[in-house]
Amino acid sequence: MAALNQFRTVYLIKTLMLLKEMEAFEVTNDPIGLLKYMENKNKVNLPILDDFRLMELDVNKCRNLFEILDAREGRHSMIVISQLPVD
């Protein structure tokens, strides 16, 4: 709410949906589309990834997620939400 009150852009997405959207570019062999998609996500002032780590992660999904996180590292904030079960 504080970011919105400061007229910042906020983007809430479930991590699984983000990964599926990025995977769609790979399936269609569209690296330019994937790059533009990632650039658009990185323009958001405050992305919020919901339900992090509630899905299976293969090497490609990890790589794509790392690219999003790495592009923001040290420059912009990101909120990551997870509900991992507690034993």
Domain ranges for the chain: 2-80
Over residues 52-76, the mean pLDDT reads 84
Q: pLDDT of 8-25, one tens digit each?
A: 889 999 998 998 998 898
Question: In 3D, which of 23, 9, 14 has the Cα closest to residue 81?
Answer: 14
Is the CB of residue 15 less than 8 Å from the CB of residue 50? yes
Top CATH class of 2-80 equals: alpha beta
* Whole-model pTM over 0.75: yes
Torsion from C-alpha of 40, 59, 73, 27, nearest 10 degrees: -10
The answer to whether residue 29 scores a pLDDT higher than 70 is: yes
Is the CB of residue 11 less than 8 Å from the CB of residue 47? yes
Sheet holding 46-50, edge to edge: 10-14, 46-50, 79-80
